[in-house]
Amino acid sequence: MRVQMDAVRRSYHVRRRPETGSRLARLVRRERSEVEALRGIDLRIEAGESVGYIGLNGAGKSTTMKLISGILTPTAGRVTVDGRDPHRERRRLSAELGYLAAQRASLWWDLPVKDSYELIRRVYGIEPALFRRRSEELVGRLDIGKHLNTPVRELSLGNRTRAELVGTLLHAPKLLLLDEPTIGLDIFAREAICGLLKDIRETDGPTIMMASHDLRDVEAVCDRIVMIDAGRLVHDGKISELRGLGGGTRRLVIHHAEGHTPPSAPGLVPIGAAARTVTTFEYAQGNLPPEVLSALFSDPLVDDVQLEAPGLEQIIKSLYRKAD
């Protein structure tokens, strides 16, 4: 499914206690004010794309997903999914939408997991044989077979999220909105979820939009990153291009004996706080004199030398700094 947002703005009205006035007035009165969550978003996601949607807390990620799912309407601008208004055509869209968010449970709290799946089957009219095949496969992949008879409220966060994800995927949605699908989960649950999403992406080819604070998850599942900051897009591009934005900067990390000063050279810029056994330099790619390396390798007080390209996290931090 194709998602398009044109000059989308979304505000919330909030009532706050006044900051001035008598104590009584501050206690009793409420002033109406407006929070601008999105301040003019233009975004196009083609069918079958997988987009990591990243931003700091309060940047506007969840608001965007609620607009695309039709739960909210924009204050200004236009949102369409396959050319249609998702709010006006919510019923039609829901048949093709899978929306996973912590605040939006799709399973019934008091029912055993498998009963919720059966209800989902009926709601979406999934043919029984297809349902059996798909549920067995998803349940197996996420290893929740032993929890199918457990009421959802008794599941751990990790198992609940796995069970929710199966519920979200049962009807093979063509648009997947995933709002922090791995938040609070351990490494096994995260890997299981991201691995499944990656496979679903290849086999079913849905459009995926995944909000996450964890760049490892975004890298595992998506090939494009859209970055939002205080309601505005600050970056949109392929992950591979983003890596290129690290420019030609590289790092030389030297592990050495305590207090030792390793040999340096012009063009090596020391970075980070001085540590007693680690010294880090930054240098422009191709600008590391070979004699520095041979001096380091022959230095008996140097234990290890690493050459590093900047990680995605570092590149993204520098994009935030630029956006400020």
Q: Which residues bind ligand ATP (CB under 6 A)?
A: 12, 14, 35, 37, 55, 57-63
Smallest distance, ligand ATP to C-beta of residue 262, A: 41
The answer to whether residues 267 and 289 touch, using CB atoms and an 8 Å cutoff, is: yes
Residue 184 C-beta: closest distance to ligand ATP, Å: 13
Residue closer to ligand ATP by CB (options 171, 214) is 214
- The span from the CA of 31 to the CA of 90, in Å, is 33
Q: Which backbone phi and psi does 33 adopt, to 5 degrees?
A: -140, 175
Q: How far apart (Å, rounded) are the C-alpha atoms in residues 198 and 185? A: 18
Task: Indicate the residue among 164 and 268 with the shorter CB distance to ligand ATP.
Answer: 164
Residues in the chain: 324
Question: Closer CB to ligand ATP, residue 59 or residue 142?
Answer: 59
Shortest distance in whole angstroms from residue 60 CB to ligand ATP:
4
Q: Is the Cβ of residue 7 or residue 35 nearer to ligand ATP in the bound state?
A: 35
39 vs 242: CA distance, rounded Å: 24
Q: Which is nearer to ligand ATP, 57 or 203 (CB)?
A: 57
3-state class of 151 per DSSP? strand
By 3-state DSSP, what share of the chain in percent is helix, strand and coil, each rounded to 5? 35, 30, 35
| Minimum distance, C-beta of residue 156 to ligand ATP, in the bound complex (Å) | 22
CB of 13 to ligand ATP, least distance (A): 7
Among left, alpha and beta (phi > 0; psi -120 to 50; other), residue 104 is: beta
Reduced to 3 states (helix: H, G, I; strand: E, B; else coil), residue 215 is helix
Chain-centre distance for alpha carbon 291: 43
Q: Using DSSP, state whether 63 is helix, strand or coil.
A: helix
Measured from the CB atom, is 37 or 242 closer to ligand ATP?
A: 37
Locate 77 and state its tokens: 């601008």
Which one, 102 or 111, has the nearer CB to ligand ATP? 102
- Tell me how far, at minimum, the Cβ of 117 lies from ligand ATP, in Å: 28
Cα-based torsion angle of the residue sequence 112, 118, 120, 125 in order, rounded to the nearest 10 degrees: 180
- Grouping H, G, I as helix, E, B as strand and the rest as coil, residue 139 is helix
Task: Give least dist CB 25 to ligand ATP, A.
Answer: 23
Nearest approach in angstroms of CB 232 to ligand ATP is 12
Amino acid at 116: S
Q: Shortest distance, CB of residue 54 to ligand ATP, whole angstroms?
A: 9
Comparing CB distances to ligand ATP, the nearer of 230 and 293 is: 230
Q: Which is nearer to ligand ATP, 55 or 262 (CB)?
A: 55
The CA-atom distances, in angstroms, between 243 and each of 280, 288, 292, 314 are 21, 20, 26, 10
Strands 97-101 and 232-238: unpaired
Name the residue with tokens 């929710």.
164
